[in-house]
Amino acid sequence: MFSIDAPALTGIALYQRWLSPHKGFRCAHAAFYGGESCSAAIARTIRERGLVGSGPAIAARFAACRQTYSHLSPQLTGGPRVRGLCCCGPLPIPFRCG
């Protein structure tokens, strides 16, 4: 593991331990498809490939989560059933699943 991987994984672990449990919801991708949240998937990718080699996979996961957000939009589903916030990128993205 490269020296830059450890701080990245520590940051993700801190987010998962101290912030994520208090949000009360999962990212859009995990809410829609189930399985790993974005933070868990990215941590796994960093462990497998290293941070430097994970750039394209991380960008693809964030893009998939953003795309999933559009499937959870109230305009498409007719109203809110599941509500949450996607942490994909620098700005949080609220979502609702009808």
Give residue-wise pLDDT tens across range 56-94: 999 999 999 988 888 776 644 455 555 555 555 555 555
Look at 20-34, 37-51, 79-93 and tell me which has the smallest mean pLDDT: 79-93
* Confidence (pLDDT) at 81: 53
List Cβ neighbours of 15 (8 Å cut-off, separation of 6 or more).
39
Average pLDDT over residues 37-52: 95
Q: Is 51 exposed, middle or buried (0-12, 13-18, 19+ CB in 10 A)?
A: buried
* Domain range summary for the chain, segments of one domain joined by +: 5-97
* Confidence (pLDDT) at 84: 58
